Amino acid sequence: MALAAAGAAAQTVPLKATLVAENPTWPVVDEKSGAVMDLRVTLQIENVSDKPVSILRFNDVRAYAGDLAVGVTDPTGLSVQPFVWQMPAPKSRDGSEWGSKASHYLTLQPDESQKIDLTPGFFGYTQQDPTTAPPSEYKITPFGPRRYGLVRHGKSSVRVTLKSGGDASVAPEGFWQGTLQAGPLEVRRVADTKGISGRLAGYLKKAARGPKVQPVAATYFGGPDFEEFRAVGSQEDGTIVAFGNAWGPTFPDTGDAELTVLGEKHWLDVTPYQGGQEYRFRGQRDGQGGRMVFAGFDRLYPNRAGMIVRFAPDLSKVLSVTRFAWGNASIDQAAVGAGGKLFIAGQCTEHFEAIARKAGKMHVVPVPDSPKAGPVRYQDKVDLSGDVYVARLSPDAKTLEWVVVLRGHRSISPLWFDNAGGVSFDSWGIKRVDAQGKLRMVELTWRAGGRIRTLGVNPATGGVLRGGDRNTGTGREPWRQPQLTMYDEAGQPVWKIYDWSPGLVGHDDYRLVSDSAARVIAWDRQGDLWFSGWSDGGNSVFTRNPVDLDKGLPQRGLGMSLWGAGVGSFCHIIHMDADTWKVHGYMTFAAYLNDYDPATRQYRDKPNSVRIDKLVPFSDGALAFMGGASSYLVQTPNAFYRRLDQDWSDLPAAGGSGPFFCVLDKTLGSFLFCSTMPACDLTDLTETSRGLAVVSTTTGISKDYQSPPVVNALQPAYGGGRGDGHILLMQRPDALKGAE
Amino acid sequence: MKRFAVICLLVGLAIPAVLADLEGRPPAGVKVTYNYDRRNPGWCSFRLTLRNETKPRPLFIAGRNESGTMTVKFPSMEGVEEFEGVSGISDLVGTVETQSTAVIDAGQWSANWIGAEQFVGTAWLNQQQRPEMKVRIVDVTDWQQKTDEKRRPLDRDLFEAKMVFELHVGDKKIRLTRPVTARFRAPSSRGGKYAVRFSTDFSFQGSQLGLTGRDAGTIDAKMVIEGFSTFAGNTDEQLRKSLEDSEIPTLD
C-alpha cells in the first residue's frame, strides 16, 4: 500500500494523506469462495497549506476488478463537484495486469452555499452500512457502468474511501496505489450538439429556440429531520402557499415568521420506516452478496405533522407557518381555492377531532362497510384509526372553517374546485363540500368497468370527468382501452370519448393497438379540457381525433415522432373543447435515446419513456406539466440538470432520468423551459402571480451528484435529514412577451 | 398426352408469374373462393362509418364476416396467352365473374346510450335492445381494372366494379348498387391467404332504416369489406396441384 501526497506542478499544494482504515469489519464476502469482495481503504487527506484545494488528482490508481468506488467523507467545507471517471475493465483476474493506470481527478470547489449535511444512508440506492460505519463516514459508489462519482465537502480535509467490488472474487493485497496532488483541471465542455445525432439532436435544437423562462428564486425549507412539500397553491395577493409535512421529532426553524401550532402533541414511539427498520438488506439476484439499503418511509407514520408555509410572492420571505402538533394530522393533498381559502386533506389520528371540533363546521362520515376500510395496524405495534379528513382554512391559515372527518376511509384523492367555491374529492365515492361547508355525496350513476386513473371537476359546470382504462381485446391482440367519461353535476353521464369498439381499433385500416390510458385531467379557466394520455407504443388512439377515428390531430410541440418506439411509456397532451370536442392542440412527448448500443454497434435513435403526473394550464393559455423521464429528456439549454457523458463531456441539454417539469407557450409550439430536477421528488406545481411555483421533496443531492437549484434563497443550504422541502419560482411565460 | 402437355405449358407459364409476387390477384384462369365464415379471418375485417352533417359525432361500426362465400373467377385461359415475359401478367382479357352470398355481421358499435343524441343513429342507440346490423353482398359486377397510368406495378391488383348489397338494421333494409374499389392481395411469402378488399362510399336516407329526427335525412357512409380465401400457406404448391387436377384451377 503506497500513498504519497505529491506536488508535481507549480499550482500544486501539499496534501497530507494518512491511512485510516483498511478492510473494515463488515466486508461483503463471497459465500462460495469466502473471498473478500468489498475491500476498502480509507485515507484521511488534509490540506496543510493555506490555499484552498480545488482539485485532487489521483495518479496511477489501479483497480483490480474494474469496479472502483470513491467516497469522500467528513464534509466540513469543500464541495466536490460532480465527478465522473471511466475505469477500464481489468485485463486479468489475478491482478497481474491492472485494470487501470490512468490518472483520475476529483474536483473540489469551496462553495458554502452548496454545503449539505451528509447523513448515513443518504445516497438513495447505495447506503452506508449502519451497523459498523461511524456516522461521519460516507461512501459513494458507482452510479452506472464504469462511472464513478464523488461529491462532498471538506474544509481542511477530506476522507477518501476506495473500495473494490463488483465481481471480484479475490481482492489482491495492496489492490490500489495512488498519489495525490492538487492542480488545475480542464473540464471539457461541449457547446453544441456534437456527439448527438438523430431525433434527439433535432429536438434539442428546436427546444433551444426562442426566449426561455428563468428561475426567479429557489430555496430549501427544512431542518435536521425529514420535511416534505406535497402541494402548492397561490392566493390572489400573490402569496405562495406550500403544503407538506414534517416527520419530526424536530421542526425546522421558522425564523421571524409567525408560527401557529394547531392541537396538542401526541407523539407515538414508533419508527417512520417501512418494516420498522431504517435499513434492509437487498440481496443480489444470484444470491451472492448484497448491500444494505434504505428501507423507505411508511406513509402511515402517525406522528407526521402537516404544515402550511406561506411565502411572499417572490419567495423572499416566509410570511407565516401553520402546522399541526405531532401525532394529529398530515397534509397529503392540498390546494388554494377561491378567495385564497386553503383546502387540505390527509390522514389523521383520533386526536385530530379535538382540533376539528373547534372549526366552524364539522362533518363526520362513518366507516364504509367494507373490509378494506376501518382501522389499520401500524407496523404490528399500534392500531391507527384509518381516518382521513378534508378541511378548509382561512387564507391566513390560522382558522379552520370547516372539517370533514372520514372515519376509516384510509385514503383520499386530490381536491378539485368549482367556480362556485365548492370542493370535490374521491374517498369511497365522490363527495362535494359547497362554499358554505355543506357536504353531499355525488353518485356517479353509471360506471363502466375498468380502472379509474384520474378524476377532474370542470370548474365551470361542476361536472366530473373520469379517466382511466379497461382491459379488452381487438380479436387479434389484447388491448388496454382508454376511457374518458363526463358526468354532469348530478352524476349523470353526459358523454364518453375513446369508446371505440376494440375490433375497429384492431382493423387493418387503423391498427392503433398500443395499450393506452387516460392519466391526467386538468381544466383551464375557460372551461376547456386538457388531458394527458399514456401509451406503451407509437400506434395509439390518442394520435387520432377523440370523436373521429378517421381524423388525425395536428401535431404541436416539437413535433415529436414515435416511430420505432417499441414498448415504452409515451405521453400525449390534448387540449380540447369539452362541449364540441374540437381539439385546439395536441402534442406527443417522449425522451429520445442517443447512446451507443454495443450489440448493433450503432447509436440508437429511439423514443424513450416519460410519464406525466400533472398538467397546469396557465390563465394566458400556456401550459406547464411535470412528470418523470427516462434517460435523455429533451431539455432547454438553461436546464438545471446536465447529463455528463462517459468522457466527461457535458451534453448540452440532453437530460438524464428523473422528475422533470416543462413549460410550453400557448401554442404548444415552443418550449419555454424543460429540465429534470436533480435530487427532487416533484410533487406539485401551480401558476402564481409572479410565475410558476414548483414544490418537491429533495434529498439535496442526487445519486449522480447533482443538486437542485438554489437562487435568491431564504435557506441556501440543505437542512439535513433524509429530505427537505424545496420550492422553486420560475418566471411567468407572459413575461417573455417583450423578448419574443 | 396432349392435354398433359398443355397443362405443363400452363404451369410453366403461370407459376413463375405467381411466384414473382407482383400480383395480389390470383393468376388468370384461376377461380378463388373467398369464404366469409365468422372465423375467417377471426377478427374485424369490416368497418362502416356513418356521418350526418347535423350530428357532431359519426358512428363507427366494426364487424366480422358471418357466413357465405364469394367466388371470383378471373378471365380464362385466353388471358394466359398475354403473358409478357419478365414483366409478369399483362392486363386481363375477358371478364371477371363473381358469385356471392356473403353476409357480414356489423355488430361492434363505437357508441352506446351515453350521449346517444350526439351520434348518428340516435334512435338505434336509444332502443332498449340495439338492433342487429348486417350487410349482405348480393353481387359484384362490371369489373374493370383501374387504368391509372401513374399507378405503380403493385396497383395492377386494383379494380373497379359495381356491388349490389343490402344494409339490414333490425327488420328494415335498403338495397344499394354502388361502385366499389376492389384490391386483391396475394398470400405473402410468409403465408397468409388471398384476400379481396372492397371499399365504397354511399348515401342513404336514415328514415329508410328507422332513424328519426335529424338522422332521418341523408347519411353518408363509408364501408370497407374484406374477404379471405380459406386456403393458406404454400401458395405455389396449392396452385400447382390445382392446375394439375383441373382444367379450371380453383383455390378455395
- In tens, the pLDDT along A124-179 reads 223 333 232 222 222 333 222 222 233 222 222 344 444 333 332 223 333 333 33
The pLDDT value given to residue B186: 73
- Residue B61 cell numbers, joined: 361500426
Backbone dihedral region of A74: left (phi > 0), alpha (psi from -120 to 50 degrees) or beta?
left
- Residue B1 cell numbers, joined: 398426352
**What confidence tens digit (pLDDT) does each residue in A671-722 have?**
999 999 988 999 999 999 999 999 999 987 776 657 788 899 999 888 878 8
Closest by Cβ to A507, choosing from B58, B62, B111: B62
Does the beta-carbon distance from B114 to A446 stay under 8 Å? yes
Using alpha carbons, list the distances in angstroms from residue A474 to A29, A477, A479, B149, B224: 53, 6, 6, 38, 17
| pLDDT beyond 90 at A725 | yes
Closest by Cβ to A509, choosing from B47, B57, B58: B47
Cα torsion angle, A236, A240, A241, A244, sign: positive
Angle of helix B235-245 versus helix B2-19 axis, rounded to 10:
160
Looking at A54-68, A309-323, A600-614, which range is the least confident one? A54-68
**What confidence tens digit (pLDDT) does each residue in A26-49 have?**
334 444 444 433 344 445 555 555
- Residue A575 cell numbers, joined: 387540449
Higher pLDDT, A283 or B155: A283
Residues of A in contact with B45 (CB under 8 A): 507-508
Most B CBs within 10 Å, among A464, A492, A507, to test the B interface: A507
Any idea what DSSP says for residue B191? B
CA–CA distance, A420 with A324 (Å, rounded to integer): 29
| pLDDT beyond 80 at A347 | yes
**What confidence tens digit (pLDDT) does each residue in A728-737 have?**
999 987 776 6
Any idea what DSSP says for residue A89? P
- Which residues lie across from A296 on neighbouring strands? none
Average pLDDT over residues A3-29: 40
CA–CA distance, B28 with B26 (Å, rounded to integer): 7
Position B81, amino acid = E
Burial call A252-262: b when 16+ CB within 10 Å, e when fewer? bebeeeeeebb
How far is CA A167 from its chain centroid?
A: 31
B43 Cα to chain A: minimum distance (Å): 5
Chain A contacts to B (CB-CB under 8 A): 446, 474-476, 485, 493-496, 499-504, 506-509, 547-550, 580-581
Closest by Cβ to B109, choosing from A496, A501, A547: A501
Does the beta-carbon distance from B44 to A474 stay under 8 Å? yes
Cβ neighbours of residue A297 closer than 8 Å, sequence gap 6 or more: A226, A247, A272, A273, A274, A722
How many CB atoms neighbour CB A445 within 10 A?
Answer: 11
Chain B contacts to A (CB-CB under 8 A): 42-45, 47, 49, 56-58, 60-64, 108-112, 114-115, 118, 222, 224, 226
Looking at A174-183, A369-378, B93-102, B164-173, which range is the least confident one? A174-183
CA–CA distance, A158 with A110 (Å, rounded to integer): 13
A548 Cα to chain B: minimum distance (Å): 7
The listed range with the strongest mean pLDDT (A299-308, A654-663, B125-134) is A299-308
Burial call A609-623: b when 16+ CB within 10 Å, e when fewer? bbbbbbbbbbeebbb
Does the beta-carbon distance from A500 to B60 stay under 8 Å? yes
The pLDDT value given to residue A318: 96
- Residue A368 cell numbers, joined: 364504509
- Residue A711 cell numbers, joined: 437562487
The pLDDT value given to residue A302: 95
The pLDDT value given to residue B100: 84
Does the beta-carbon distance from A507 to B44 stay under 8 Å? yes
Are B138 and B175 in contact, with CB atoms under 8 Å apart?
yes
The pLDDT value given to residue A188: 29
Are A339 and A395 in contact, with CB atoms under 8 Å apart?
yes
Are B55 and B120 in contact, with CB atoms under 8 Å apart?
yes
- Residue A295 cell numbers, joined: 428501507
Percent of chain A predicted with pLDDT > 90: 42
Task: Find where cell 379471418 sits.
Answer: B41
The listed range with the strongest mean pLDDT (A106-110, A273-277, A456-460) is A273-277
| pLDDT beyond 90 at A194 | no
The average confidence (pLDDT) of chain A is: 74
Pairing relationship of beta strands B133-145 and B158-169 according to DSSP bridges: antiparallel
> Both ends of chain A: CA-CA distance in Å?
62
CA–CA distance, A484 with A468 (Å, rounded to integer): 7
Q: Given strand A240-246, what is the order of strands in its sheet?
A: A227-234, A240-246, A305-311, A318-324, A258-262
The listed range with the strongest mean pLDDT (A367-381, A455-469, B142-156, B175-189) is A367-381
Most B CBs within 10 Å, among A501, A509, A581, to test the B interface: A501
The pLDDT value given to residue B2: 52
The pLDDT value given to residue B147: 63
Q: What size, in residues, is chain B?
A: 252
Cβ neighbours of residue B189 closer than 8 Å, sequence gap 6 or more: B21
CA–CA distance, A302 with A404 (Å, rounded to integer): 19
pTM of the model: 0.77
B62 Cα to chain A: minimum distance (Å): 5
Does the beta-carbon distance from A476 to B43 stay under 8 Å? yes
| pLDDT beyond 60 at A559 | yes
CA–CA distance, B181 with B187 (Å, rounded to integer): 20
CA–CA distance, A630 with A635 (Å, rounded to integer): 12
Looking at A217-221, A245-249, A648-652, B57-61, which range is the least confident one? A648-652
The pLDDT value given to residue A481: 95
Residues of A in contact with B115 (CB under 8 A): 493-496
- Residue A303 cell numbers, joined: 406522528
The pLDDT value given to residue A441: 74
CA–CA distance, A593 with B167 (Å, rounded to integer): 51
Average pLDDT over residues B155-176: 89
3-state secondary structure of A84: coil
- Which residues lie across from A587 on neighbouring strands? A573
Does the beta-carbon distance from B108 to A446 stay under 8 Å? no
How far is CA A259 from its chain centroid?
A: 28
Closest residue in B to A484 (Cα) is B114
The pLDDT value given to residue B23: 55
CA–CA distance, B130 with A717 (Å, rounded to integer): 67
Does the beta-carbon distance from A496 to B56 stay under 8 Å? no
**What confidence tens digit (pLDDT) does each residue in A262-274 have?**
999 999 999 999 9
**What confidence tens digit (pLDDT) does each residue in A486-514 have?**
998 888 899 999 989 999 999 999 999 99
Cα torsion angle, A355, A357, A363, A366, sign: positive
Question: Given pLDDT bands bounded at 50, 70 and 90, which one contains residue B239?
Answer: low
CA–CA distance, A43 with A56 (Å, rounded to integer): 13
| pLDDT beyond 90 at A111 | no
Closest by Cβ to A495, choosing from B47, B61, B118: B118
B79 Cα to chain A: minimum distance (Å): 32
A493 Cα to chain B: minimum distance (Å): 6
Higher pLDDT, A93 or A628: A628
Looking at A78-87, A288-297, A487-496, which range is the least confident one? A78-87
Looking at A10-24, A271-285, A354-368, which range is the least confident one? A10-24
The pLDDT value given to residue A50: 53
The pLDDT value given to residue A429: 83
**What confidence tens digit (pLDDT) does each residue in B37-66 have?**
998 888 999 999 999 999 999 999 999 999
Question: Given pLDDT bands bounded at 50, 70 and 90, which one contains residue A122?
Answer: very low
Residues of A in contact with B58 (CB under 8 A): 547-548, 550
| pLDDT beyond 70 at B22 | no
Looking at A32-41, A246-255, B92-101, which range is the least confident one? A32-41
The pLDDT value given to residue A133: 28
Nearest to A656 by CA among A673, A679, A682, A626: A679
Higher pLDDT, A615 or A18: A615
B193 Cα to chain A: minimum distance (Å): 15
Closest residue in A to B110 (Cα) is A500
Nearest to B83 by CA among B165, B12, B186, B3: B12
Are A208 and A636 in contact, with CB atoms under 8 Å apart?
yes
- Residue A534 cell numbers, joined: 399514456
Pairing relationship of beta strands A544-545 and A439-442 according to DSSP bridges: unpaired
Closest residue in B to A473 (Cα) is B43
| pLDDT beyond 90 at A323 | yes
